[in-house]
Amino acid sequence: MGVYLSTPKTEKFSDDGENDRLRYGLSSMQGWRSTMEDAHAAYPDLDNITSFFGVYDGHGGQAVAKFCAKYLHQQVLKHEAYSAGEIGTSLQKSFLRMDEMMHGQRGWRELAVLGDKIDKVSGFIEELIWSPRSGAANKNFDDWPSEEGPHSDFHGPNAGSTACVAIIRNKQLIVANAGDSRCVISRKGQAYNLSKDHKPDLELEKDRILKAGGFIQVGRVNGSLNLTRAIGDAEFKQNKTLPAERQIVTAFPDINIVELCDDDEFLVLACDGIW
């Protein structure tokens, strides 16, 4: 059945936890897909007053979703805007930073280790055994070592992932979203969307795509991708005259800030298939 199985894999991975501020639970299941391409991150104690939760829905492989689950919260935490209390700015910068970090030899190697099929990233399975020479790594300003190697000119993965992240600090909820995973809050028994699906039929998305040199065909970006914002998908981000926010597909997220109140019961983050 191509990318689908003849019968779904229904085994679930579930976990839960709590601290003195909140309780959480999570669950994931592969379902009909031939591989598990989704990932999540749950850090109830990102720092002593902040909790971080993220859902990453991969497409074209699992490597980018797993990369985000491993690194995105770290980038949020270390960004100078976070220390200044500007969490929304820190999230925006960190989403874009994921694309930057997946460039070059270092990015290729990280994705190779995380991915299920290395040819989804580069097309060369034999290069997985390559490791950087001693002294080849160079520390840069943000402590992400660069490396020399056969994939130094790697422009990023053609696979991609959505990212929907919720940060809770005191009574403030900050939601960052790129793609079509969703965040919904239950307030006094009513469901309220805190994210918006980024699809080609939205005028704002369509306008950016066309101005960046792309097109929409059968409801898909360049006839291929059915969402307009994602981390990864480097083939749609090659216009050298435009910043990352204005590429055909961008990782730049929408930010929604909500003041929590006693009427708020729970929050749900999930991939589009759940909804």
Q: Please, are residues 163 and 56 in contact by the beta-carbon 8 Å criterion? A: yes
Average pLDDT for residues 261-268, to the nearest whole number? 96
pLDDT computed for residue 226 by the predictor: 95
How far is it, in rounded angstroms, from Cα 178 to Cα 251? Answer: 6
Helices (H) and strands (E) counted in the chain, each on its own, are 5, 14
Q: Please, are residues 186 and 265 in contact by the beta-carbon 8 Å criterion? A: yes
pLDDT computed for residue 227 by the predictor: 96
Band of pLDDT at residue 135, cut at 50, 70 and 90: very low
The answer for residues whose C-beta is within 8 angstroms of residue 224's C-beta and 6 or more apart is none
pLDDT at 125 over 60: no
Mean per-residue pLDDT of the chain? 89
* Tokens encoding 84: 């200044």
The answer for residues whose C-beta is within 8 angstroms of residue 232's C-beta and 6 or more apart is 60, 64, 98, 99, 102, 156, 157, 158, 159, 160, 161, 251
Domain 8-117+151-274 class, CATH top level: alpha beta
pLDDT at 142 over 70: no
147 or 191, greater pLDDT: 191
Average pLDDT for residues 61-78, to the nearest whole number? 96
Domain positions in the chain are: 8-117+151-274
The pLDDT tens digits of the residues spanning 167-222 come to 999 999 999 999 999 999 999 999 999 999 999 999 999 999 999 999 999 999 99
List the Cα angle 53/106/238 in 5-degree steps.
80
Nearest to 263 by CA among 208, 188, 199, 179: 188
Band of pLDDT at residue 116, cut at 50, 70 and 90: low
